[in-house]
């Protein structure tokens, strides 16, 4: 009996770990491939930036100002006849603070959305897309209200879309303060975030798969939205919509040279709630997206397989726990599998560190990895709770941004 129990557990471990390490293997291989520049422009792009904001008074002005510095025009600036100017549209979604006033004062076009029947980030984005399209835009860049844009963001996104891309994703990283200690869990979080939102995305793109959407720093053309309406309403609306895009045959392309920096959430209960909401939401979206993606793969859309691997990938911390369990079970082939996956993990973490501004500090922060793994394990009941209910879009509490 014990023999069959251990073998069944071994098979269950391999099945649960396989999507994560397939995704990691694709990322490592794709990052080895030489990046090709986007081809010459084939169409004119009139880009607008849509910023969904829910009670983001402390951050919103900084976000708008960074977008203006990146190439957007203030709302008060008049366009010459026949000229189009990229604008920032801030959707103040059921805000009860000074978000609207701060956004308008900073130079954005303000779109107040005060209707409690319209819940979720998806509703805010749809309203922003409609407003920008009415003003002449034929492409839309989404930037979160707590982010800072790189100075070349507008130019890089416009060039990628003008070359023929229908959807693109830029680098999306956490804004880690320069004073962050080497031995800091925040540094470890930023490293994990970079692994998912940069290393894996550019790796998928390098292998010809869809890079993915991460909710911040992605852009869509009007034709893509017409073909696949933005009907996603879950807490992971970016992930949900990405699955629909790939099922429709649209690949998200990767923009390497530009991106956004999002403010990192404080440690403690706030971070725990945020991570549980997102992990639970991801599992919920993965469950409802599996059949359409599998059907698309059977019909010949092999990129859907890459999305399935992405959707069902365990968080790295849970993957490490799975490898530790696999290593102690008395099943020789399972231990070989665990050793191979451990090697992939080491290469993956080192590559993610090399993609950041302080690789040595990021590697040193790995000494705290056991504490992070245990913390993620303790979050499991909260994560499972969020898979069973519809999670609402709420503001994550953060400190006032640095000037």
Banded model confidence at residue 402, pLDDT cuts 50, 70, 90: very low
Least confident piece of the model among 192-206, 295-309, 363-377: 363-377
Binning pLDDT at 50, 70 and 90, where does residue 116 land? low
Question: Which pLDDT belongs to residue 403?
Answer: 43
pLDDT class of 34 with cuts at 50, 70, 90? confident
pLDDT value of residue 268: 59
Nearest residue to 90 via CA among 81, 80, 101, 82: 101
Query: What's the pLDDT at 185?
Result: 82
76 lies in some domain:
yes
In a domain, 299, yes or no: no
Q: Measuring CA to CA, how many Å separate 40 from each of 138, 182, 271?
A: 19, 43, 43
Residue 178, domain CATH: 3.90.550.10
Give a yes or no: residue 140 inside a domain.
yes
Cα–Cα distance measured from residue 128 to residue 53, given in angstroms and rounded to the nearest whole number = 11
Which burial class, exposed, middle or buried, applies to 112 when counting CB atoms under 10 A from its CB (0-12, 13-18, 19+)? Answer: middle
Is 0.85 surpassed by the pTM of this model?
yes
> Residue written as tokens 């800091």?
184
User: 33 pLDDT exceeds 80?
Assistant: yes
Q: What pLDDT, on the 0 to 100 scale, is given for residue 269?
A: 59
**pLDDT tens sequence across 217-236:** 999 999 999 999 998 887 78
Task: Please say if the pLDDT value at position 397 is more than 70.
Answer: no
Q: Which of 148, 172, 168 is nearest to 160 (CA)?
A: 168
pLDDT level of residue 283 (50, 70, 90 thresholds): confident
Question: Could you tell me the pLDDT band of residue 382, with boundaries at 50, 70 and 90?
Answer: low
Q: Is residue 235 part of a domain?
A: yes
In order, the DSSP letters of 36-62 are PPP----S---EEEEEEESS-HHHHHH
Establish if 353 belongs to a structural domain: no
Average pLDDT over residues 94-104: 93
**Domain containing residue 132:** 47-265
Partners of 111 in the beta sheet?
91
Could you tell me what percent of the chain has a pLDDT over 90? 66
Let me know if residue 196 belongs to a domain. yes
Which tokens is 92 given?
């103040």
- For the chain, what is the domain count? 1
Q: In whole angstroms, what is the distance from residue 246 CA to residue 210 CA?
A: 7
Average pLDDT over residues 304-315: 93
Q: What is the DSSP track for 197-241?
A: IIIIHHHHHHTTS-----SSSEEEEHHHHHHS-----STTHHHHH
**pLDDT over 90 at 259, yes or no:** yes
The predicted model gives 58-82 an average pLDDT of 94
| Contact yes or no for 98/57 (Cβ under 8 A) | yes
Residue in 147, 133, 154, 199 with CA at minimum distance from that of residue 175: 147
Residues 369 and 212 sit within 8 Å (Cβ to Cβ): no
Cross-strand bridge partners of residue 171: 259
In the structure, what pLDDT confidence band is assigned to residue 396 with cuts at 50, 70 and 90?
low
d(CA 335, CA 330): 8
Owner of token pair 């844009």: 149
pLDDT computed for residue 99 by the predictor: 95
So what's the pLDDT on residue 370?
Answer: 85
Tell whether 146 is covered by a domain: yes
Q: Which residues contact 299 (CB under 8 A, 6 or more apart)?
A: none
Measured CA to CA, the distance from residue 95 to residue 72 in angstroms comes to: 24
Residues 137-196: pLDDT tens digits? 999 999 999 999 999 999 999 999 999 999 999 999 999 877 778 878 888 889 999 999
Q: Which tokens sit at 156?
A: 């890089």
In a domain, 289, yes or no: no
What share of the chain in percent tops pLDDT 70?
90
Q: Comparing C-alpha atoms, which of 249, 188, 253, 217 is closest to residue 39?
A: 253
């Amino acid at each position: 009996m014990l023999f069959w129990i251990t073998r069944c557990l071994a098979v269950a471990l391999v099945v649960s770990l396989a999507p994560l390490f397939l995704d990691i293997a694709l990322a490592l291989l794709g990052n080895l491939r030489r990046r090709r520049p986007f081809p010459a422009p084939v169409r004119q792009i009139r880009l607008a930036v849509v910023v969904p904001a829910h009670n983001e008074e402390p951050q919103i002005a900084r976000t708008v100002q960074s977008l203006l510095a990146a190439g957007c025009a203030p709302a008060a600036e008049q366009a010459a006849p026949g000229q189009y100017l990229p604008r920032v549209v801030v959707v103040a979604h059921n805000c009860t603070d000074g978000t609207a006033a701060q956004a308008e004062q900073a130079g954005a076009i303000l779109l107040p959305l005060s209707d409690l029947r319209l819940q979720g980030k998806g509703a805010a984005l749809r309203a922003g897309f409609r407003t920008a399209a009415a003003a002449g835009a034929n492409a839309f860049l989404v930037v979160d209200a707590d982010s800072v844009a790189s100075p070349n963001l507008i130019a890089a996104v416009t060039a990628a879309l003008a070359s023929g891309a229908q959807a693109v994703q830029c680098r999306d990283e956490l804004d880690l303060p320069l004073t962050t200690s080497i031995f800091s869990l925040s540094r470890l979080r930023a490293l994990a975030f970079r692994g998912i939102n940069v290393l894996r995305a550019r790796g998928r793109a390098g292998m010809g798969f869809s890079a993915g959407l991460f909710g911040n720093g992605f852009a869509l053309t009007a034709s893509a939205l017409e073909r696949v309406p933005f009907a996603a309403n879950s807490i992971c609306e970016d992930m949900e919509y990405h699955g629909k895009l790939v099922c429709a045959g649209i690949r998200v392309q990767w923009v390497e040279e530009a991106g956004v920096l999002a403010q990192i959430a404080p440690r403690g209960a706030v971070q725990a709630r945020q991570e549980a909401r997102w992990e639970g939401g991801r599992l919920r979206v993965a469950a409802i997206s599996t059949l359409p993606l599998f059907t698309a793969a059977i019909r010949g859309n092999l990129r859907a397989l890459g999305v399935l691997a992405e959707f069902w990938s365990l968080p790295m911390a849970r993957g490490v726990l799975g490898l530790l369990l696999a290593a102690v079970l008395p099943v020789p082939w399972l231990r070989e599998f665990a050793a191979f996956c451990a090697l992939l993990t080491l290469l993956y973490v080192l590559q993610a560190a090399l993609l950041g501004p302080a690789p040595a500090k990021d590697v040193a922060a790995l000494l705290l990895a056991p504490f992070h793994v245990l913390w993620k394990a303790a979050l499991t009941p909260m994560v499972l709770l969020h898979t069973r209910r519809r999670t609402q879009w709420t503001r994550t509490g953060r400190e006032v941004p640095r000037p």
